[in-house]
């Protein structure tokens, strides 16, 4: 019985250690990001309406699964492996082109791992975790067949809303977490946040929905 | 990452307070990571014409404008690649592949994305080279508030082609010791 127990524990440990898997090159993948990459993005937005309009899909959603995805750039000695983040959609706020229904799950490719399996954050977009929930501004990837994969339209295209224990109070603290570099946030589509001090998630939600409605109506151009 | 911490005091009927809290995610120096010294040996790894244009222009800017000795005669500090990475959302990127002392980098990797480069003019490609190699020299991106005269290639929404005096001072300070 003791041997069976040890075997089960050993198998469980082996599963944990290899839980992140390998990339297409056989490298083991880190289970968390230890590096940071800075990249010049192809888009820049000065307002939420602009960022909404440039998106193919804006949703309120939650992360249900994360696993290693495809590897690109294998023809050079510096490939990258994506993290496939599964988003279950609670609400569609804006979309264009191929329609996605509420309740559906879409895949967001997020960076990632380098050629040696080292985990990195791209432009300060923290790795998504199962359970993360909030608003996502998504662009359908043009290099994935069937349009079945997305990426954030910009590094600041994710606003997570969560609750964390607040030791100072019996009430839970809520937080809003905007992805990306602070400089891009302050100089970009969320620059209005400075004016939202002393307001909370309801106002953020209202701003997101208002921008979506404006973009839908073709306004703000 | 920008976390806005809030505190809901339902009993008082107050709305949640939002304060900007810088992320404490990865590097202890924020996102600034410096080269280990002023000698900056760069390798071009089978670059295309566009990748080579970006790399040589960026190397030229660093070498001529700053106290860094940026050169392709030697190797080991910056590895430059270009490849078809697909629709990633970035034209180019830089990260530290091999960290040295805290806050310093032994080997940077720079990657240009050929999936987008073909759509850029030569002047934008040069600006991109200046931008990405600026990251290997300790520079972060600049915003309109920190570059009011719009002349730094470290901007993200315009395409200047050189480092401004702020950038040069930052780089020279980083490699002074």
Give per-residue pLDDT as tens, B46-101. 999 999 999 999 999 999 999 999 999 988 999 999 999 999 999 999 999 888 78
Nearest to B93 by CA among B124, B40, B147, B134: B134
**Chain B partners within 8 Å of A124 (Cβ):** 1, 23, 25, 31
Tally A–B CB contacts below 8 A.
200
Asked if A15 reaches chain B (Cβ–Cβ under 8 Å), the answer is no
**From the CA of A165, how many Å to the nearest CA of chain B?**
10
Nearest to A45 by CA among A53, A57, A34: A53
**From the CA of B176, how many Å to the nearest CA of chain A?**
24
Asked if A122 reaches chain B (Cβ–Cβ under 8 Å), the answer is yes
Average pLDDT over residues A122-137: 96
pLDDT of residue B4: 45
In eight-state DSSP terms, residue B175 is T
- Residue B106 belongs to what H/E stretch? strand B104-113
**From the CA of B18, how many Å to the nearest CA of chain A?**
5
Cβ partners under 8 Å of residue A147, min gap 6: A97, A98, A140, A141
pLDDT above 70: residue A171: no
Say yes or no for a CB contact (<8 Å) between A177 and B10.
no
ipTM for the whole complex: 0.84
For chain B, what is the mean pLDDT? Answer: 83
CB atoms within 10 A of CB A7: 10
pLDDT above 80: residue A154: yes
Average pLDDT over residues A174-183: 82
Contact present, B90 and B16 (Cβ < 8 Å): no
pLDDT of residue A219: 63
pLDDT above 50: residue B105: yes
pLDDT of residue B21: 32
pLDDT, one tens digit per residue, over B5-36 is 333 323 323 333 333 333 333 433 345 688 87
């Amino acid at each position: 019985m003791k041997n069976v127990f040890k075997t089960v524990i050993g198998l469980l440990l082996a599963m944990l250690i290899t839980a992140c898997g390998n990339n297409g090159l056989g490298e083991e993948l880190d289970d968390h990001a230890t590096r940071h990459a800075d990249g010049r993005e192809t888009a820049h937005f000065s307002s939420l309406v602009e960022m909404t309009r440039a998106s193919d899909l804006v949703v309120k959603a939650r992360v249900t699964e994360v696993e290693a995805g495809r590897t690109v750039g294998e023809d050079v000695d510096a490939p990258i492996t994506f993290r496939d983040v599964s988003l279950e959609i609670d609400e569609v706020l804006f979309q264009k082109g191929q329609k996605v229904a509420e309740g559906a799950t879409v895949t967001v490719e997020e960076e990632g791992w380098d050629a040696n399996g080292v985990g990195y954050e791209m432009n300060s977009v923290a790795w998504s975790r199962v359970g993360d929930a909030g608003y996502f501004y998504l662009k359908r990837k043009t290099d994935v067949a069937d349009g079945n994969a997305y990426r954030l339209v910009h590094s600041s295209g994710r606003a997570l809303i969560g609750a964390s224990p607040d030791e100072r109070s019996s009430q839970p603290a809520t937080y809003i977490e905007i992805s990306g570099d602070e400089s891009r946030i302050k100089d970009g589509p969320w620059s209005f946040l400075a004016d939202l001090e002393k307001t909370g998630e309801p106002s953020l939600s209202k701003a997101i929905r208002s921008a979506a409605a404006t973009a839908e109506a073709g306004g703000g151009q | 990452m920008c976390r806005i911490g809030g505190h809901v005091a339902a009993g008082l009927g107050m709305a949640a307070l939002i304060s900007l809290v810088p992320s404490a995610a990865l590097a202890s120096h924020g996102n600034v990571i410096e080269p280990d010294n002023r000698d900056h040996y760069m390798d071009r790894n089978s670059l295309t014409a566009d990748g080579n244009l970006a790399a040589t222009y960026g190397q030229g800017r660093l070498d001529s404008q700053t106290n860094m000795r940026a050169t392709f005669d030697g190797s080991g500090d910056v590895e430059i690649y270009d490849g078809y990475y697909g629709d990633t959302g970035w034209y180019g990127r830089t990260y530290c592949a091999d960290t040295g002392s805290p806050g310093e980098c032994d080997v940077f990797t720079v990657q240009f994305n050929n999936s987008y480069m073909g759509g850029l003019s030569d002047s934008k490609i040069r600006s991109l080279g200046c931008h990405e190699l600026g990251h290997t020299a300790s520079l972060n991106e600049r915003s309109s508030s920190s570059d009011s005269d719009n002349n730094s290639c470290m901007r993200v929404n315009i395409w200047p082609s050189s480092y401004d005096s702020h950038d040069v001072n930052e780089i020279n300070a980083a490699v002074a010791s």
